[in-house]
Amino acid sequence: MSNIYVRLAKTNIQNNRQLYLPYIISGIVTVMMFYLMVFINNNPGLDGIPGSTNLKTIMALGVGVVAIFAYIFIFYTNSFIIKRRKKEIGVYNILGMEKRHIAKVLGLETVFVAVIAIVCGILSGIVFSKLILMLLYRMLGFQESVSFFIAKAGIRKAILIFGVLYLLTLLYNLLQIRLANPIELLRGGNVGEKEPKTKGVMAVAGAACLAVAYYIAITTQNPIEVLFKFFLAVVLVIAGTYFLFTAGSIAILKMLRNNKKFYYNKKHFTAVSGMLYRMKQNAAGLASICVLSTMVLVMISMTVSMFAGVDDELKARYPYELSYTINANSMEENVNGQELYQTIADTIEKQGRKITDSSMCSYFQIFMKRSGSEFEMINQDMNYSDMAVLNFLTRENMLANDSSLKAEDVPEPEVGKVDIYSKTKYEDSEFHFLGQDFAVDHSFSYGSEADSYLTVKDILYVVADEATLNQMFELQKEAGSDPDTSSMYSQYETQIEFEYDGTKEEKLACADAVKNVVASQRKEVSGYLESRTDNEKEFYALYGGLFFLGLFLGIMFLMVTVMIIFYKQISEGYDDRERYVIMEKVGMSNAEVKSSIQSQIRIVFFLPLVMAAVHVAAAFPMIRRLLALLNLTNVPLFVTCLIVTILVFTAIYYLVFRITSRAYYKIVSR
């Protein structure tokens, strides 16, 4: 008896290969991608490269994302298959098979599919693992050798996660069969939809969700708020998209139906009427395609632009090749900066390097809570939207901090008064700082490119004479030492920076020489050195890892999108076949049937793509600010990458349209 069940399960899969083959291939690819992510995350070779911590964190994130979308994707495609097979299962039931016998057949079918997908997926992952790791190393610019090994953790996790996944699909299928009677099963693939009502409340809710999400994306300026509000905007866009496709599409179709000139056309009549009666089911698929398309466009364009602009990001984070910062607890301790500047310059020249640019600036910087013209120390309960960063420095240091400023642009403030430079001009006549009032001599509208990476709303430069600065420095030391506040007082810093020529090896050797000389001469004062070349591999590991993950997940989301489109078209092809047969019997020619089919597919097919483009356009300001947090301020580069991504995705989307419309027509024309 068991052999009968096995043969029947194999026959069912073979007879339904048009449905099962893409399902099995998708499962294999998903398992393979999951194994590869675990393989990279657990690769011992990553431990010895710079930036390995960031890279492993990124890959661990990829493992979780692949697992989550595998569950969503497999469940979604499985629902299409079980719907198409309900009639076949109903026939078995009518012919005398009990539901427990049908359950055995479905169980064996699920086991066959699961074994094929998991085993072939793991084997494919093992075969391609070394190639993928070599590709990752090449992208990151690492020259380390790649050794082949099998990730046992990847095999265990793949078997566990995907074994549970296919078990859950089986339970879902059995539940569908158990709750239906034989007559319902026979009609399960052909259950029609009543004409849906126009849901005004849902349509308004969808429009409201999108309006709020777009408003957040366009108006949010504070980078900290961008981080917190980005996910809220994503949730609102997803909800709004589903609501509008469900309710808004019905309203649009009814408007088209009421347009007699458009509706009573051979190409439009069957398409509009058919979509209208099945739009409740259509809407979920269209909304899913729209959301996934948006994710593909945003993810790939962001990661490609970040990787393409990694040199710009490196220079934005490290404006000079070498930077040495001295920290002191009083301004008096830091008066010998010029001496250290000369020592570093001499060391660089002794290494045979030519100095092309240099800078020295002394200041102290405080993150504070701002309420109008009042500035207080921050605490744990403060709202980040109220945070401001204040830079206190003399006129000479202000000129040294920004070489684009001219001497006439920075007047000398009157003794005891302050000049304030800020993005939004400071309008108050007094500067209230930790309970003390300082008269404002001048205020200017000013923005520095060096501040683009700071995650605060307000950035102010307070310029004063040394005595006034010293008074402010002592005030913040006293306030920062208060045990009732979570703030720490700021140290007085002198930042000495140099740009010089040389190869990477020569620049690294020069930075090491400077570090040794400074360490031997300034033991009594704390400080730290940063080298752009020394941190370059860390940057490539971070942005290269994000680029790799973006492409990896982008391909997965694209695969999911294509499969949803394919199953949607196949399912609707079977639903529409009888309707078009009747149309041909009443006089509609084969060419007219094909024209009607193409009209329906075009209306449904390109609507999600257009909506995805609208979502991306609305999200552009927020994405630009997120990229600024990651040091990418090259907006033209991101725009170029976004346009290229949209064009490539549109070409792939159109190719899928051609293939699925042909499959749809073949089903309908049988």
Instruction: State the pLDDT confidence band at 627, using cuts at 50, 70 and 90.
Output: confident
Is 1 a residue whose pLDDT tops 50? no
Per-residue pLDDT tens digits for 331-377: 766 656 778 888 888 888 888 889 898 888 888 888 887 777 777 77
Of all helices (H) and strands (E), which one includes residue 89? helix 52-94
Highest mean pLDDT among 332-336, 362-366, 455-459, 489-493: 362-366
Query: Tell me, what's the pLDDT at 188?
Result: 52
The predicted structure's pLDDT at residue 51: 61
- Residue 553 phi/psi, 5° resolution? -70, -35
User: Computed over its alpha carbons, how large is the radius of gyration of the chain?
Assistant: 32
State the amino acid at position 355 in one-letter form: I
Beta bridge partners of 325: 495, 528
SS3 375: strand
Q: Which residue has the higher pLDDT, 456 or 507?
A: 507
Q: Stretch 27-36: mean pLDDT, rounded?
A: 88
Report residue 411 as tokens: 């007047």
Residue 566 gets the label, from left (phi > 0), alpha (psi -120 to 50) or beta, of alpha
> 284: which residues sit within 8 A by CB, 6+ positions away?
242, 245, 246
pLDDT of residue 516: 85
More confident residue, 600 or 12: 12
What single DSSP character describes residue 248? I
* Mean pLDDT of all residues in 619-641: 84
Percent pLDDT > 70 in the chain is 79
Neighbours of 528 (CB within 10 A): 11
Asked if residue 648 lies in contact with residue 304, where contact means CB atoms within 8 angstroms, the answer is no
Is the pLDDT higher at 1 or at 633?
Answer: 633
Which residue type, as a one-letter code, is found at position 240? G
The H or E element that residue 610 is part of is helix 590-629
> Are the C-beta atoms of 588 and 266 separated by less than 8 Å?
yes
Q: Mean of the pLDDT values across residues 82-97?
A: 72
Residues of the chain with pLDDT > 90, as a percent, come to 6
Q: How many residues does the chain have?
A: 670
Cβ proximity of 110 and 174 under 8 Å? no
Query: Quick one: pLDDT at residue 121?
Result: 92
Distance of alpha carbon 220 from alpha carbon 456, whole angstroms? 12
Rounded to whole angstroms, how far apart are CA atoms 362 and 563? 60
Residue 7 CB partners (closer than 8 Å, separation 6+): none
Quick one: average pLDDT of 122-148?
78
Residue 538's closest CA among 37, 49, 45?
49
Query: What pLDDT, on the 0 to 100 scale, is given for residue 464?
Result: 92
Phi, psi of 609, rounded to the nearest 5 degrees: -65, -45
The residue among 498 and 523 whose pLDDT is bigger is: 498
Q: Are the CB atoms for 162 and 31 separated by under 8 Å? A: yes
Write down the pLDDT at residue 25: 86
Separation of alpha carbons 112 and 530, rounded Å? 57
Residue 205 has pLDDT above 80, yes or no: yes
Beta pairing class for 436-445 and 418-422: parallel
pLDDT confidence band for 162 (50 / 70 / 90):
very high
Average pLDDT in the chain? 79
Task: Provide the pLDDT for residue 524.
Answer: 56
The three-class DSSP label of residue 364 is: strand
Backbone angles phi, psi at 582, to 5 degrees: -65, -40
Q: What pLDDT, on a 0 to 100 scale, did the predictor assign at position 599?
A: 67
- Residue at 124: amino acid letter: S
pTM of the model: 0.73
Place of tokens 């690294």: 508
Range with lowest mean pLDDT among 115-124, 478-487, 538-547, 622-631? 478-487
Q: How far is CA 56 from CA 132, 149, 543, 547, 639, in A?
A: 15, 17, 13, 14, 29
Is the confidence at residue 120, as pLDDT, over 90? yes
Does an H or E element contain 494, and which? strand 492-500
Per-residue model confidence as pLDDT tens digits over 303-322: 888 888 888 878 878 888 89
| Cα–Cα distance for residue pair 153/160, rounded to 1 Å | 11
For residue 400 the two structure tokens come to 């040294």
Per-residue pLDDT for 521 more than 90? no
Are 557 and 299 in contact, with CB atoms under 8 Å apart?
Answer: yes
Does 126 score more than 80 pLDDT? Answer: yes
- Average pLDDT (565-584) is 71
